[in-house]
Structure 1
Amino acid sequence: MAVISILANSTAITLILPALGLVYLASWIYTYYRLSHIPGPWYAAWSDLPRMYWVWTGNSHLKQLELHRKYGPLVRLGPDAVSVSDTTEIPNIYTFTGKFKKSNFYSVLGPYHRGQAIPMLFTTQDENMHRRLRQPIASIYSMTNLVGFEPFVDSTIHFFFEQIDTRFVATNNVCDLSTWLQAFAFDVMGEITVSKRLGFLAEDKNVSGLMNVLWDHFQYAAVVGQIPWLDKIFKKNPIIGYFRTTQPNAIVAYTFQQMMQRKKLLEEKGVSSVMATAETTANPDLDRRDFMSRFFEAKIKDPKVPEMASAAWSISNIGAGSDTTAITLRTILYYLLKNPSTMQALLDEIRTAKAAGKLSDPVTWHQARELPYLDACIKEAGRVHPAFGLPLERVVPPEGANICGKNLPPGTVVGVQMWAAHRDETIFGDDVDAWRPERWLVDEPKRWAMDKALLTLELAKDEWIVESSWFVHQRDFLVRFSKREKFAE
């Protein structure tokens, strides 16, 4: 009987294993053929490993641009992933109704605190949560309110140049401007969010390793996000977590620390409502209605606001906001300094405005926005070097979708590749690889078409409203920087 049982089990295994192999093979072939009508490198149709490798090299944006130039507006990047470069598809994919849900890439990108995901406006995949996070703070990021933060920004801009003069101009030492712009970005976002600089400029150091924390987080999320289920093995694995002691994200920890200190100040003052932070008190930490104060107010006004919303909003400001700020400033100044004629054109515009009495000291946002060449430089920087180098992934809804004349089946991960879309010659001209701010100084219909194709502007209206807090004030910084002719020589 034992022999018969062994033979029976052996026969079952012999039948089951090939059956499972056939099912897997059939699934693999089906996955290949469901997007076989979308062009792309043949090996990308079988695995997500190639696109993961491209991201790991740090050159995925250039590789994907190359693929779009070879294959056209649609490129298959993986078994279920399609990249889009046609700017006319932007409003179809990134709809306000949330028809195309965010892919699982965003589950990797979002921060965690004590084992719990923090629902962020940019990363949450839940459309209902997205609305609950966005609606209470939409007015805070309105142009009227953002201009009110000018005193916060002015003090940090002044301190930045004070440090530059003391540490580098007076001593003739070489300034690593890239690092100092990142330091400035952290400090200015700290100033407008929690009414205090983080200390990067004053101490001339990477405070608490925050720069590395941000870099490491984005590096990990970018690579592992190409195959999101790996995150459940590498970082969110409860078994590994049990044996490994992990330090909390320094940016998240700093934000919660600031929140606790703010609440303690309110309790010590006997303030029963956060609304009182808008009133004049003896405590300067309670007088300034920074972003955190306004976030607290929004939480009290709307009881439906998620519990961790104030933390999520503040983390977005300090973390993502500072990174976008630094990238934008680096790009603008890099191209201005590399192209002296454009720097000279900007200087001429500033001098003319100053001579006409149209610029005060410090310059205000309302004054800076009247400088068309400066505006052109900012837009051109967002075009040639968008801060986000990967497609902003969405998932095709159950009914499928027609993108660029091709039918994409439900569940396909699709996203616009900004580096390719911003080099659309039909929109931006035949010199798309060149830095040329003058392309934006055209008649209204042409400029409007380019504005609609610039994702850094379009997404700032909804997904990236946090970044819009800096878009308003970067003009002030750039005018003051450009006026210092020592940098332009």
Structure 2
Amino acid sequence: MYQIIAIIFLAWVILQTRTYFRLSHIPGPFLAKLTNIPRFTWVLSNKAHDIHVSLHRKHGPLVRFGPNMVSVADPKEVSHVYAFKYPWVKSNFYSALQMKPRGKPIPGIFAAQDEAVHKLLKRPVAGAYAMSTLVSFEPYVDTTMRVFCDELERRFSDRQVCDFGKWLQMFAFDVIGELTFSRRLGFLESGEDVNHVMANIWETFKKTSLVTQMPWLDRVWLNNPIQRWRRGGGASPGAAFAMACVEERRQKTTDKNDWGFNTRDFLSRFMEIEAKDRTVPPYALAAWASSNITAGSDTTGIFLRTVFYNLLKNPNTLHRLLEELDSAAAAGNLDDLASWKQTRELPYLDAVIKEGGRIHPPFGLPYERVLPKEGATICGEFLPGGTVVGMSAWVVHRDKDLYGEDCDEWNPERWLRYDAERRRAMENALLTFGAGHRSCMGKHIAYLEMYKVIPTLLRRFEFELVGPDEGGAWDVKNRWFVMQEGFLVRLRKRTGVSD
């Protein structure tokens, strides 16, 4: 018995030694070279993004985050790590993000590791997410914006305290409901998290973010039989909600070619593709619909919170933006319900939105890839095949050489003060929605909402942050909480702006 234990221990020591020396030339915390436990605890602390930044500033452009994981910080490597041609495959980080009804993984467009599966899922629906197509959805965003403004005015315009972070996410959720299912999901009218969908999705994200750091935990923690039973069979909250909407739509169809009352929404397109394209796998409809719900609301809500919070915390930038908006409106170039075409011509609004995506990208962990068997040279260092590499948007967006010495601060002016070449380099390094051929397909949905709702709300209402003495969150140390969970405001209707 003792001999067996000794043999197992010796094998473990040899394996750990080989693992340690394989990437020993890459700097990083000592324990991270032996185990993934450190990066698990970084995520558990809710400060992984800040820890990643500090580690790179201490050790340089390459830092060993785990026994086989190297984080890359140099913005010039973005096109290398996330190439369009011959892309590197996604690591097991993404296995934790797959849907698992009844315990069986179903790959989605974002989480699929197999490039052939990803292509099979993306090709049929890519056109629906193109900006040229989404502009045709603008009337549905307008409908939701009208409800949003009316509800804010009805409930809070007498300077009642508003949980604005919550309302911004409810807006994002109802917009994606309009675009996907041709109807709002009732968040704005009720003023509540319908069926606790938002809270459940957020709780799921917090757990899966931990599992991404140690993927083997998925089976023993999140996806064991007891947890699947508690979830009613294993479906995630977002997936279950989306599939309920799909079943509701199926019941409304009158024949094989009738896809409901609105043939222009995402679900109609998805169902038509499912019926006509025999190459589509049987799980595709579930993957498409649930991806819209789980990814389309939370990230946009965080993005909106970031912009509004930083504008209110920095009144000089808010004042400059309001001057631009009011000037455009006075010249007849901006309606009270802002349009995409109008707002794309506003340079300071564009700078504010870019800065929001830079200062607080919604995804706070590295986008991991696996090096091919021949390995690769990154930042002048050779990394052997099979090494997992990744770039964090939080780290890359704080590169002082590219974004300036003030890169830790909110400053939309950085997008206006440099020449065209420098701005292109800054834009190319933005990882707000990833990079390369696996960048987020839904990014155009988020931008459509952002460029419309920010000027519409700012021209209709005056906002004031509620201070900490009244339960608000002012301290920048609370940044993670503020952007992920929300913040409080008082609001009143601006004078001189029509309904």
Aligned-pair CA distance for 1:103:
1.1
2:288 corresponds in structure 1 to: 313
Give the Cα separation in 1 of the matches to 2:4 and 2:103.
Answer: 39
How do 1:150-189 residues align onto structure 2 when only pairs under 5 Å count?
150-170=138-158, 172-189=159-176
Does the alignment pair 1:234 with 2:209? no
Amino acid at match of 2:208: A
Equivalent position amino acid for 2:419 in 1: D
Match of 1:124 in 2: 112
**Structure 2 residue aligned with 1:405, among 368, 376, 380?**
380
Closer, same or farther: CA 241–174 of 1 in aligned 2, 3 Å: closer
Which residue of the partner structure matches residue 200 of structure 2?
213
Instruction: Give, in angstroms, the shift of residue 21 of structure 1.
Output: 2.1
Map of 2:40 onto structure 1: 52
Query: Once the two structures are superposed, what CA deviation does each residue of 1:388-422 show, in whole Å capped at 9, x if it has no partner?
Result: 11111111111111111111122211100111100
Greater mean alpha carbon deviation, residues 214-223 or residues 107-116? 107-116
Classify 1:150/1:460 alpha carbon distance in 2 versus 1 (closer, same or farther; 3 Å): farther
The unaligned stretches of length 5 or more in structure 1 are 1-12, 278-284
* 4+ long deviations beyond 6 Å: none
Greater Rg over alpha carbons, structure: 1
Per mean C-alpha deviation after superposition, the further-off stretch among 300-309 and 211-220 is: 300-309
1:439-450 maps to which residues of 2 (within 5 A)? 439-441=414-416, 442-450=418-426
CA distance in 2, matches of 1:55, 1:209: 24
Counterpart selection for 1:463 from 420, 439, 464: 439
CA distance in 1, matches of 2:140, 2:449: 10
Amino acid in the other structure paired with 1:246: R
- TM-score, structure 2 as length reference: 0.89
In 2, the alpha carbon distance for the partners of 1:472 and 1:180 equals 18
What is residue 293 of structure 1 aligned with on the other side?
A: 268
Tell me how far 1:92 sits from its aligned partner. Answer: 1.3
Shift of 1:18: 2.5
Q: Does 2:239 align with 1:257?
A: no
TM-score, normalized by length of structure 1? 0.91
Give the whole-Å Cα distance in 2 for the aligned partners of 1:413 and 1:397: 10
Name the amino acid aligned to 1:322.
S
SS at match of 1:118: coil
- Structure 2 residue 456 is the aligned partner of structure 1 residue 480: yes
SS in 2 for 1:486: strand
Q: Quick check: 1:386–1:419 contact (8 Å CA) kept in 2?
A: yes
For residue 427 of structure 1, report the CA deviation from its aligned partner.
Answer: 1.1
How far residue 15 of structure 1 moved from its aligned partner, in angstroms, is: 4.1
Superposed CA deviations along residues 162-195 of structure 1, whole A, max 9, x for unmatched, are 111111114x320010111111111111111101
Measured after TM superposition, the shift of residue 375 of structure 1 is 0.6
Query: Do the aligned residues in 1 keep the contact of 2:358 with 2:397 (CA within 8 Å)?
Result: yes
User: Once the two structures are superposed, what CA deviation does each residue of 1:67-120 show, in whole Å capped at 9, x if it has no partner?
Assistant: 011001111111111111111111111123453211111111122223332221
Output the amino acid matched with 2:300: T
| 2:391 equivalent among 412, 416, 423 | 416
Residue 124 (structure 2) pairs with residue 136 (structure 1): yes
Q: CA deviation at 1:342?
A: 0.6
How many residues are matched?
462
* Structure 1 segment 272-283 matched on structure 2, within 5 A: 272-273=256-257, 276-277=258-259
Please state if 1:190 is matched with 2:212.
Answer: no
Q: Distance in 2 between matches of 1:385 and 1:460?
A: 20
Q: Which digits, 9 at most, give the CA deviation of each residue in 1:40-63, with x for residues without a partner?
A: 111211111111011001001001
Give 1:460 shift. 8.3
Q: Which residue of 1 aligns with 2:277?
A: 302
Structure 1 residue 217: Cα displacement: 1.0
> Alpha carbons of 1:313 and 1:98: their partners in 2 closer, same or farther (altered >3 Å)?
farther
Given that 1:316 and 1:466 are in contact with CA atoms closer than 8 Å, whether structure 2 keeps it comes out as no
Indicate if the aligned counterparts of 1:99 and 1:397 stay in contact, CA closer than 8 A.
Answer: no
Give the aligned partner of residue 429 of structure 1.
404
Residue 478 of structure 1: SS of its match in structure 2? helix
Match of 2:316 in 1: 341
Alignment counterpart, residue 344 of structure 2, candidates 360, 369, 394: 369
Match of 2:137 in 1: 149
| Partner amino acid, structure 2, of 1:459 | A
Q: Which moved more, 1:99-108 or 1:66-75?
A: 99-108
Name the SS for the 1:129 alignment partner. helix
Matched to 2:25, the amino acid is: H
Contact 1:346–1:482 (Cα < 8 Å) also in 2: no
- Cross-structure match for 1:353: 328
Structure 2 letter corresponding to 1:231: D
Does structure 2 retain, via aligned residues, the 8 Å contact 1:195–1:288? no
CA distance in 2: counterparts of 1:457 and 1:180, whole angstroms? 23
Match of 1:223 in 2: 210
Identify, as 1 or 2, the structure richer in helix.
1
| Counterpart secondary structure, 1:402 | strand
Q: Note the alpha carbon deviations across 1:417-449, whole angstroms, 9 max, x for none.
A: 111100111111111011111111132211111
Tell me the equivalent position of 1:281: none
The alpha carbon displacement at 1:461 in A equals 6.5
Gapped regions of structure 2 (runs ≥ 5): 465-490, 492-499
3-state SS in 2 of match to 1:82: strand
Q: Tell me whether 57-66 or 290-299 shows the greater mean CA deviation.
A: 290-299
